[in-house]
Homo-oligomer: A and B are copies of this chain.
Amino acid sequence: MYVVHETCTLYGCQVTGDRLTKATVAECALRLADAEGVEAVTIRRLAKEQGVTPMALYWHFKNKDELLLGIVDHALATVRADPAAGDPWQKRLRTVFEAVVAVMREHPSLPTLLHAVDKTQTESFSRATNDTLALLSDAGFTVEEGYWIATHLLNAAMGLVAGEPGWCPPGMASEDAAEWRRQKRLRMSLLPADRFPMMIEYAASVGDVPDVDRYYAFCVDLIIAGVEAMAASR
């Protein structure tokens, strides 16, 4: 089931007439990923967007993995959560966590991209983890525990955004999106009622427009609460 790409949606990166740079390619790729999904980011497609031959990209990136790494680093570089140093660690942790969630909400392809690369190779990951580690050290955790927690928090943020209620495939028109959600809810309510009563009850409880704010508020609390509880228990 292939879609033959005759037309080529341009993400406004080649109009500058400039030569390619790591930054412009990463920016273009990020837009493409957000708009059409990470699977749309291929070397060949990206080259087409930039008005260039596929092999041109190999001058700037060693291979596709490096390209993806470049996108992640580019996107994460914008995260700047400098909480007031005087605040208690709980508040600072929440601030940095919310900042990470915020970038991912701006760039919905980020969770998938982060799964596809070895994040430890990016500078932004090192920075964020280092800062979080310092913070968690104030909370009384060992570095090892802190690293486990920091990893868990990043992963939780990724899952949080990827699992946002009402999510639908990238590049879908908003009318179609509503219908898509309706279909999904309907399919769930068609499950065998004797074996999946709670699923059906859930499907019935879901409104037409999901309450995204309540979702994030609740889940952020849930995730932070775990860390606070662990800190309290030592």
Contacts and interface: CB of A to CB of B under 8 A. Distances in A.
Given A120-B184, A133-B198, A222 B163 contact: no
B137 A198 contact: yes
A40 B52 CA distance: 31
Contacts of A1: 63
Interface residues of A, number: 57
- Looking at chain A's contact residues, the main secondary structure is helix
A152 B219 contact: yes
Given A159-B159, A184-B120, A215 B133 contact: no
Interface string A136-155: 01000011111111011001
A155 B152 contact: no
> In the complex this chain forms, how many copies of it are found?
2
Contacts of A112: 115
B143 A198 contact: yes
A226 B145 CA distance: 16
B202 A143 contact: yes
A228 interface: yes
Contacts of A223: 152, 226
A59 interface: no
Contact of A159 (B130, B152, B188, B197): B152
A39 to B, nearest CB: 11
